[in-house]
Amino acid sequence: MTDTDLARQIAATCRLTGRFTLRSGRVADEYFDKYRFEADPALLDRVAAGLAGLVPPGTEVLAGLELGGIPVVTALARHVGLPCAFVRKTAKAYGTARLAEGAEVAGRRVLVVEDVVTSGGQVVISTGQLRELGAEITDALCVIDRSEGGAEALAERGVRLHALFARADLTA
């Protein structure tokens, strides 16, 4: 399957039109319902295969962000053979009381993995939290970059955003 074919399939599966309020608070007339491609095992596997080539050399841990980044990071790990950390929005108040579950992030080169990036808000927050835990983070990876400032917000914090597809790739 070519990148163009994969982009068409993702767009056909998850691109919705209407009026939507995004996590950032912005109102959009287009929405990428990532759960539609994440819930399709064959499509999710093709997405992960495409993402595998974007994982920077030297990456030691893949950190998937709650909730949409979790299925993406799990599928990606199967393709690249790296361990995963599952990153909560806030540390749980019971059990281990950890922010990042799974693989240890302290002292390791961590790639933050998200499904869709708009303003980059959650990636910025989670990157800061993971850095406080001792993770070395210079890169983030997403399936769809809505091209609405997320890459720039991350760059201001020393993080390069790599995207399988930009919004324009899915609306062409």
pLDDT at 100: 96
| pLDDT per residue as tens digits for the range 51-83 | 999 999 999 999 999 999 999 999 999 999 999
Q: How far apart are CA 108 and CA 103, in angstroms?
A: 10
**Mean pLDDT, rounded, for 98-112:** 97
Two tokens, residue 167: 């919004």
User: What is d(CA 124, CA 122) in angstroms, rounded to the nearest whole number?
Assistant: 5
Q: Is 30 known to sit in a ligand binding site?
A: no
What pLDDT, on the 0 to 100 scale, is given for residue 1?
65
- Nearest Cα to 118, choosing from 166, 50, 72? 166
For 117-149, the pLDDT digits (tens) are 999 999 999 999 999 999 999 999 999 999 999
117 labelled ligand-binding: yes
122 is in an annotated binding site: yes
* pLDDT band for position 95 (cuts 50, 70, 90): confident
Q: CA of 126: how far to CAs of 51, 105, 164, in Å? A: 20, 12, 20
For residue 118, say whether it is annotated as part of any ligand binding site: yes
In the chain, the domains with their CATH numbers are 3-171 (3.40.50.2020)
Residue 34 assigned as binding residue: no
Confidence grade of residue 25 (pLDDT, cut at 50, 70, 90): confident
Tell me if 60 is assigned to a ligand binding site: no
User: Which two tokens mark 100?
Assistant: 């990042």
